[in-house]
A and B are shown apart, each in its own frame.
Chain A
Amino acid sequence: MTPNPLKRVLMLGNEAIARGALEGGISYATGYPGNPSSEILETLFKWSDAHDVAVEWSVNEIVALEAAAAFAFSGRRAVVTMKQNGLNVAADFLTTVSLDELPGGLLVVVCDDPGPLTSSNEQDSRHFARIAQIPLLEPSTPQEAKDMAVYGLEISQRFGLPCMLRAVSRLSHGRGPVSLGPVASKGPQPRFDRDRPKVGLPFLVTRNHARLLRLREEIRAEFEASPWNGYTGPEGVSTLVVASGLSATYGLEAIQTLDLGDRVGLLKLGTTWPLPRERILERVGRADTVCFLEEVDPFVEEGVKVVCAENGDRAGRIRFLGKNDGFVAGPDGPGVGEMNTDTALSALGRLFDPAPVQGEPLPEDLLARARDLLVPRELSFCQGCPHRASFYALKTALELDGRDGFLVGDIGCYGMAAGTTGFQQIKALHCMGSGMGNACGFSRLKEFGFDQPVVAVAGDSTFFHAGLPALANAVHHNADAVFVILDNAVTAMTGFQVNPATPAAVSHGKRELRIENAARGLGAEAVVLDPVADVNAAVEAVLQAVETGGVHVLVFRHGCATFFQKRADRSARPRVWVDAETCLGDQCGCNRFCSRILSCPAILFDPETGVARIDEQVCTGCGLCVQVCPREAILLERSEDGNP
Chain B
Amino acid sequence: MKGSTNVVITGVGGQGNVLAARLLAAVALAEGLEVTVGDVYGLTQRGGSVASHVRWTEGHPLPPLVPQGALDILVAFEPLEALRIQSQFGRPETAALVNESPVMPIGVQAGRFPYPDAAALWSLLDRMTGSCRRVAGSETARALGNVQALNTVMLGALCGSGLVGFEAGAFEETIRSELPARFVDLNLEAFKRGLALGGAGGKAAE
B50 CB, nearest partner CB in chain A, Å: 10
Nearest CB to that of B93 among chain A residues? A359
Residue picked from A35, A256, A420, A421, most chain B C-beta under 10 Å: A256
Contact code string B164-204 (vs A, CB < 8 Å = 1, else 0): 00000000000000000000000000000000000000000
B174 CB, nearest partner CB in chain A, Å: 11
Nearest CB to that of A415 among chain B residues? B43
Contact code string B90-113 (vs A, CB < 8 Å = 1, else 0): 111100000000001111111111
CB-CB under 8 A for A380 and B63, given A362-B92, A596-B112: no
Contacting B106 at CB < 8 Å: which of A250, A369, A370, A378? A378
CB-CB under 8 A for A381 and B45, given A170-B38, A170-B63: yes
Nearest CB to that of A256 among chain B residues? B1
- Please, how many angstroms separate the alpha-carbon atoms of A259 and B1 in the complex? 9
Contacting B69 at CB < 8 Å: which of A35, A361, A380? A361
- Please, how many angstroms separate the alpha-carbon atoms of A571 and B108 in the complex? 29
- Please, how many angstroms separate the alpha-carbon atoms of A171 and B83 in the complex? 26
- Please, how many angstroms separate the alpha-carbon atoms of A319 and B172 in the complex? 54
CB-CB under 8 A for A171 and B64, given A366-B128, A373-B121, A375-B105: yes
CB-CB under 8 A for A375 and B42, given A342-B67, A370-B86, A599-B106: no
- Please, how many angstroms separate the alpha-carbon atoms of A257 and B114 in the complex? 40
Contacting A141 at CB < 8 Å: which of B44, B47, B61, B83? B61
Looking at chain B, what size class is its interface with the partner chain? 35 or more
A270 CB, nearest partner CB in chain B, Å: 14
Nearest CB to that of A562 among chain B residues? B46
- Please, how many angstroms separate the alpha-carbon atoms of A569 and B37 in the complex? 35
Q: Are B38 and A358 closer than 8 Å at their CB atoms?
A: no
CB-CB under 8 A for A175 and B128, given A362-B69, A377-B105, A416-B43: no
CB-CB under 8 A for A379 and B47, given A177-B29, A360-B92, A370-B87: yes
Nearest CB to that of B104 among chain A residues? A604
- Please, how many angstroms separate the alpha-carbon atoms of A604 and B47 in the complex? 15
B86 CB, nearest partner CB in chain A, Å: 7
Contact code string A340-366 (vs B, CB < 8 Å = 1, else 0): 111001000000000000111111001
B36 interface residue per 8 A CB criterion: yes
B99 CB, nearest partner CB in chain A, Å: 16
| Contacts across chains A and B counted by CB atoms under 8 Å | 184
**Chain B interface main SS type:** loop
Q: Are B124 and A369 closer than 8 Å at their CB atoms?
A: yes
Please name all residues of chain B whose beta carbon is closer than 8 Å to the beta carbon of A250 when the two chains form the complex.
Answer: 63
Q: Are B87 and A367 closer than 8 Å at their CB atoms?
A: yes
Please name all residues of chain B whose beta carbon is closer than 8 Å to the beta carbon of A367 when the two chains form the complex.
Answer: 87
CB-CB under 8 A for A378 and B86, given A373-B116, A605-B111: no
Q: Are A375 and B113 closer than 8 Å at their CB atoms?
A: yes
- Please, how many angstroms separate the alpha-carbon atoms of A380 and B108 in the complex? 12
A320 CB, nearest partner CB in chain B, Å: 24
Q: Are A252 and B60 closer than 8 Å at their CB atoms?
A: yes
Contacting B48 at CB < 8 Å: which of A253, A259, A373, A377? A377
B144 interface residue per 8 A CB criterion: no
Please name all residues of chain B whose beta carbon is closer than 8 Å to the beta carbon of A604 when the two chains form the complex.
Answer: 104, 109
Please name all residues of chain A whose beta carbon is closer than 8 Å to the beta carbon of B61 when the two chains form the complex.
Answer: 140-141, 143, 176, 249
- Please, how many angstroms separate the alpha-carbon atoms of A521 and B12 in the complex? 45
In A296-344, which residues have CB < 8 Å from any B CB?
340-342
Q: Are B116 and A360 closer than 8 Å at their CB atoms?
A: no
- Please, how many angstroms separate the alpha-carbon atoms of A493 and B105 in the complex? 20
Q: Are B106 and A380 closer than 8 Å at their CB atoms?
A: yes
Q: Are B44 and A373 closer than 8 Å at their CB atoms?
A: no
- Please, how many angstroms separate the alpha-carbon atoms of A367 and B114 in the complex? 19
In A380-423, which residues have CB < 8 Å from any B CB?
380-382, 413, 416, 420-421
- Can you spell out 5 A-B residue pairs with CB atoms less than 8 angstroms apart? A175-B25, A366-B127, A379-B47, A595-B110, A603-B109
Contacts A174-B37, A375-B80, A378-B107 supplied; 15 other A-B pairs, CB < 8 Å: A141-B36, A173-B38, A176-B35, A257-B70, A358-B69, A359-B69, A370-B86, A373-B83, A374-B83, A375-B108, A377-B12, A380-B46, A382-B45, A413-B45, A595-B111
Interface positions of B (Cβ within 8 A of A)? 1-2, 12, 22, 25-26, 29, 34-39, 41-49, 59-65, 67-70, 80-81, 83-84, 86-87, 90-93, 104-116, 120-121, 124, 127-128
Interface positions of A (Cβ within 8 A of B)? 8, 10, 35, 117-118, 140-141, 143, 170-171, 173-177, 246, 249-250, 252-253, 256-257, 259, 340-342, 345, 358-363, 366-367, 369-371, 373-382, 413, 416, 420-421, 493-495, 562, 592, 595-597, 599, 601, 603-605
Top 8 nearest A-B pairs by Cβ distance? A174-B64, A175-B37, A249-B63, A373-B116, A341-B67, A380-B106, A370-B87, A377-B105
